[in-house]
Structure 1
Amino acid sequence: MSAPPSFDVADFPVPHGREEEWRFTPLERLRGLHDGTAVANGAGVKVAVDAPDGVTVEAVGRDDERLGTAGTPVDRVAAQAYSSFEQASVVTVPKEAVLTEPIRIAVHGEGGTAFAHQVIELGAFAEAVVVIDHTGDAVLAANVDFVLGDGAKLTVVTVQDWDDKAVHCSQHNALIGRDASFKSVVVTFGGDLVRLHPRVAYQGTGGEAELFGLYFTDRGQHHEHRLFVDHNTQHCKSNAVYKGALQGDDAHAVWIGDVLIQAAAEGTDTYEMNRNLVLTDGARVDSVPNLEIETGEIVGAGHASATGRFDDEQLFYLMARGIPEQEARRLVVRGFFAELVQQIGIDDVEARLIAKIEEELEASVA
């Protein structure tokens, strides 16, 4: 039985790995984030925000009333992050503002341990794109809140392109207003261990959430994505599609997709899917879709999960037309990820991710 959500780290027992929410996570690689031994230091992370005119960027104290409004920590690491940060960053897009350039948030690790809290807030009928880019080396635990006013539209791209030794745990909370639209694109390449927990809840009818994810898990890496969509309001939609590729010994990817349709959430329309492509021996995938329905008055609900190797027919088709095997493999992987890369909608970010995929594929050939 999981502990109920809480902002107080004392309300969560230290995990031992037998708990359902921790059974896939190698606790010894969390560098003390889970048991209270991790201590923030001055060489943690450096955060820089580049925002268009009209957007407000603030550094606020722990007593700011906007903090924590999108969601409550659901595990000990998220509660530790909330209890330990000194200042939070709040980025506010005023109502009815339609941004033509993205807000870019660069989080660069400088070798230490850090706890952080970030709030992205959109006023009613505002529209924005936010890119949160993680690079460098750090041990980071964070909470990121997305608060959407009625009719607002927000696209968030979070990129985990850490150095090889980095550890990153983060809970993403999205609170979606009436008739608002939220799109999340999570991209994970780097790090020794990355554990992300995207969560969605609605505070008005007509809300829509799209959750997309792309991960490329290499030798020895642990990438874990745990989604939760709480359909707590009538006539809302959600769609989750995550795809991953794995290669190398002890590459481990975990995807947990939880959707709850509460009794009051009549008219819900939801679907979740996870697909994994295993490129070499020695890699492991755990994929667990869950769907809990408390009312029969819904539009639709479903889930799917698939893990496999290269499609021999695809390879044969390409090789029969004179394409060398390694190039054919690259084409298959590019096609596998193409749908999700196109969801980003930012040319320079898409180009960077395509280049990163090529780099990973070159490594698999070497």
Structure 2
Amino acid sequence: MTDVLKAEDVEAAADKAKEVGAFDANTTNTTGAKTKGDVFTSFNVDDFSVPRGRDEDWRFTPLRRLNGLHDGSFPGEHAPNPVTANIPEGTSGIHVEEVPADDDRLRVAGAPVDRVGAQVFASLQRGTVLTIDDNTVVDGDITLTFTGTGPDTTSFGALAVVAGEHAEANVVLRFEGHGNYADFHSYSIGTGAHINVAIIDDMEDNAVHLANEQLRLDRDAVMRHGYSAFGGSVVRNISHVAFKAPGADCELSGVYFADDGQYFEQRLLVDHSEANCRSNVMYKGALQGDPNSDLPETRTAWVGDALIRAQADNTDTYEKNMNLVLSEGARADAVPNLEIATGEIIGAGHAATVGRFDDEQLYYLMSRGIPEPVARRLIVHGFFTEVISRIPIPAVQDELEKRVSEELDTVSLDELNSLS
């Protein structure tokens, strides 16, 4: 499914939408919000009802596998393990602080959009704030590692990344260990700053990780956000991007590889409320399952919302999600959404696919003497290379390429040979 719109294509549709009241102040969508961007937010867990399977925002999520993180019945609450910080030597202007739960900086980019995010603040004991001072240019990667507290335990975390004006830095966030973990991330990217963030979600196979992210970009800020998921039993990540002034530029890239019994879900909203901003979203995933396994079916879900508000002239936005199913016993859902309230844009579009191998690519490689199993592995690597190359942190690129290779080593030759 592909849909690409240019300004001349959009203007008539936007005018028609206004005629019928699609963006009228009194009009709401099916979630009760006036637009996708007008979702309810709160730090108070009691302001949210307990999620149900028929709720739109939870319809893909296996609620019974969340170990009570969604309804407050979670077991064994513990304080989170201390965050491990690795900062490049000889660099000034970087501050990593462990702060109490009531530190306002943990809320700098906005409030949670669901009950799990609000539960973080109801249960939070301490959080972490990474501050990058104005005009600081960091040579090397800042790495923060978050470790689960152990099987049958539950912990909560909060992180704020506050980048000052014209700051430049690479930030790598690692999630490891066992247990149930829910966290909330706030990113405040200052005027003219350029921040690259890479998230490597690789908890143990029995872990449940539910995350909320709020990204706020100021004037002319640039953010490159890369997300990867390989580990965990259930992983659900929500990312909301808000442009607070003209000229900002945000790219979100994602890589995920789900094995037998794993469930990965990504939900994104890019809210264009300012003029002259750009966004580009690309997520790619692969799935392999085992229909004879006692584990649940391998599943992934990706929901990408892009909103262009009436005042957001000269917006340029595009989102794409592609999924490669490598075996039986696996299912992927991909749902792109685009709301446009102005015809004065540079471009807007989306694409989503769920499929198997490209027969033409396979034929091309085999016609040049490459054995079929090797050709299929090359195709999978090529499938991921496009999105991995968008994450501008070389060490992370190398690591993700290696992880894809390791995942492919677990796919049988019979499975690869059967996928056409």
TM-score range, shorter chain: over 0.9
Whole-Å separation in 2 of the counterparts to 1:333 and 1:202: 34
1:36-95 Cα offsets, whole Å, 9 max, x none, are 112563375442111233211111112322221212100111111122111110010000
Which amino acid is 2:73 matched to?
T
Segment of structure 1 superposing worse, 335-344 or 32-41: 32-41
Segment of structure 1 superposing worse, 22-31 or 355-364: 355-364
Aligned to 1:251: 298
Equivalenced residues, count: 366
2:126 corresponds to which of 64, 87, 94 = 87
Q: Kindly report which structure 2 residues correspond to 1:236-275, keeping only aligned pairs within 5 A, or say none.
A: 236-249=277-290, 250-275=297-322
1:150-180 Cα offsets, whole Å, 9 max, x none, are 0001110001111111100101111001000
TM-score by length of 1: 0.97
Q: Kindly report which structure 2 residues correspond to 1:184-263, keeping only aligned pairs within 5 A, or say none.
A: 184-249=225-290, 250-263=297-310
Aligned to 1:114: 155
Q: Kindly report which structure 2 residues correspond to 1:313-332, keeping only aligned pairs within 5 A, or say none.
A: 313-332=360-379
Q: Kindly report which structure 2 residues correspond to 1:174-193, keeping only aligned pairs within 5 A, or say none.
A: 174-193=215-234
Which amino acid is 2:383 matched to?
F
Between structure 1 and structure 2, the one with the greater Rg is 2
2:57 counterpart of 1:10: no
Whole-Å separation in 2 of the counterparts to 1:44 and 1:365: 38
2:403 counterpart of 1:363: no
Which amino acid is 1:258 matched to?
D
Partner secondary structure for residue 124 of structure 1: coil
> Could you tell me whether the CA contact under 8 Å between 2:65 and 2:234 is conserved in 1?
yes
Query: Structure 2 vs 1, CA of residues 286 and 327 (structure 1 numbering), >3 Å: closer, same or farther?
Result: same
Q: CA deviation at 1:322?
A: 2.1
Aligned to 1:38: 74
2:65 corresponds to which of 25, 29, 41 = 29
Whole-Å separation in 1 of the counterparts to 2:213 and 2:164: 19
Q: Which has the higher contact order (CA 8 A, sep 6+)?
A: 2
> Could you tell me whether the CA contact under 8 Å between 1:45 and 1:109 is conserved in 2?
yes
RMSD: 1.4
* Structure 1, unaligned runs of 5 or more: none
1:122-163 Cα offsets, whole Å, 9 max, x none, are 100000110001112121110011111100011100011111
Which amino acid is 1:87 matched to?
R
TM-score by length of 2: 0.84
More strand as a share of residues: 1
Q: Kindly report which structure 2 residues correspond to 1:279-298, keeping only aligned pairs within 5 A, or say none.
A: 279-298=326-345
1:98 corresponds to which of 134, 137, 142 = 137
Whole-Å separation in 1 of the counterparts to 2:125 and 2:82: 14
Q: CA deviation at 1:202?
A: 1.1
Query: Structure 2 vs 1, CA of residues 79 and 113 (structure 1 numbering), >3 Å: closer, same or farther?
Result: same
2:387 counterpart of 1:340: yes
> Could you tell me whether the CA contact under 8 Å between 2:79 and 2:156 is conserved in 1?
no
> Could you tell me whether the CA contact under 8 Å between 1:33 and 1:141 is conserved in 2?
yes
